[in-house]
Structure 1
């Protein structure tokens, strides 16, 4: 992908992004404490027929921080970035936190989306009440304490949690770390902690409805971060046209099974 470009929003903050290819715009939104670099491989694969744009969410990669983190703030920032670049009727792919941002953008009408692709996404990150498809609140609180006391080690542990046992070989792990993690700036600890708090507060279940765009849901059955039941719930509530529940796969299927994801993503993107 091309190196970072940046634009300045109306409030003076910057949004950075990478892009490659030409054709219909495909916008990819990354997950918590990562950056648009996570999509380097997939963007280069799909750039033969799509203009693939991978922004860094606020407070991540090369994008400026927010004073107050809320899902609506991330949605507004990426929506304004799309307006500045004059990106119309894109296909929108979101992974994990990025999936929540993408879904919020469509629900708020911030994007006239042709297709919405939700990878390892949940409407509600925490367990609570009758919602069993999230992380226990105690585990999330422990993670926050660990981010404050041993930040880099906690991020490394979280990276490994994305994969089921035996899902990737050690050489592939090193390769992913090189292009997806080490190629980008690590978020400041306060931004990661604030964004984790955003995830803990967000509950989109009451807003879910059939959307005006075609929806794809893809989830690893062995996801240890967002249980696959969350993906099944989204697929049912959004009347998803395409549902892929991947056996033996964890939180980041495009890292461990790039060939399969390219095939499934192309098939969906070719639908009208």
Structure 2
């Protein structure tokens, strides 16, 4: 059974998280504008053999906002939440923005972190000189303007874009959309805009984390983050396995739940 919990941080703010299952700890970090509910089907599949902890990033879901939304700010909240939850021997899965936060957390967690999984993750979200594998900054700025005008419409459009180009639309997409937008609050305005600003500013291409068994999974049809960004990480990170999934977009654990759950279960053994 997956239970919704809260932990209170040292500064009085709360982090919301979903937890359940038994076994070694698997932490799930969601992407921009979403919440831990995006992992609901995956949590149900993996909780039979893992203790799942899926936090809402600060200002998302039911977690309190904060004075900043840089990668280090998100990571600091999650680290403290895991400390309070008594999480040891951790496997960490980050998706999209959550994958960038996961990269930020590698050194913070130290030897407690045993395995790393990056799903649809990039070291640099926007295009820069020498880096064509991102979104044009103008497109991120346009999303920011849409979010200011109508957060719900902007987030729904962004969510559906994650499945563009998929060869088969999985039945969980509409269910997940309902949970995300009807059963949970939208992210705070400060978190939505701050997260987009972080996506524009963050550049982890020179990050050199320690040797760590790592699975990098990316959909070939990803319309948000080009697969070449994931390939870059696979070449850069020691002990990385690269999985390119045909016919899958930005959220493979929704569009191809069973397939992805099997890949993850094999890697986590």
TM over 0.5: yes
Distance (whole Å) between structure 1 residues aligned to residue 113 and residue 229 of structure 2: 22
2:208 maps to 208
Are 1:76 and 1:110, in contact at CA under 8 Å, matched by a contact in 2? no
Provide the aligned length of Structure 1 versus Structure 2.
269
* Contact persistence 1:79–1:110 (CA under 8 A): no
User: Residue 31 of structure 2 contacts residue 98 of structure 2 at CA under 8 Å; is this kept in 1?
Assistant: yes
For 2:14 and 2:206, the matched residues in 1 are separated by: 32
Tell whether 2:240 aligns with 1:241: yes
In structure 2, the CA distance between the partners of 1:166 and 1:95, relative to structure 1 (3 Å rule), is closer
CA deviation vs aligned residue, 1:46-97 (integer Å, no higher than 9, x gap): 1111111111110001110011111111111101111111111211001001
Q: 1:259 — aligned with what?
A: 258
Partner residue in 2 for 1:163: 163
C-alpha offsets along residues 196-221 of structure 1, whole Å, 9 cap, x if unaligned? Answer: 11111100111134x23211100011
The whole-number CA distance in structure 1 between the counterparts of 2:243 and 2:123 is 17
Question: Counterpart of 1:136?
Answer: 136
Deviation at 1:183, TM superposition (A): 2.7
Q: SS of 1:152's equivalent? A: helix
> 1:181 & 1:111 partners in 2: Cα distance?
37
- Counterparts of residues 107-146 of structure 1 (less than 5 Å): 107-109=107-109, 112-146=112-146
In 1, the alpha carbon distance for the partners of 2:171 and 2:212 equals: 39
Q: Distance in 2 between matches of 1:10 and 1:182?
A: 31
Distance 1:237 1:267 in 2: 23
- Residue of structure 2 in register with 1:67 after alignment: 67
Deviations 1:182-236 (A, max 9, x none): 3322112232011111111100111134x23211100011111111110000010
Q: CA shift at 1:239, angstroms? A: 2.7
Deviation, 1:172, is 3.9
Query: Corresponding residue for 2:182?
Result: 182
Gaps of 5+ in 2: none
5+ residue gaps in structure 1? none
Aligned CA RMSD, in angstroms, stands at 1.6
Paired residues of 1:26 and 1:51 also in contact (CA < 8 A) = yes
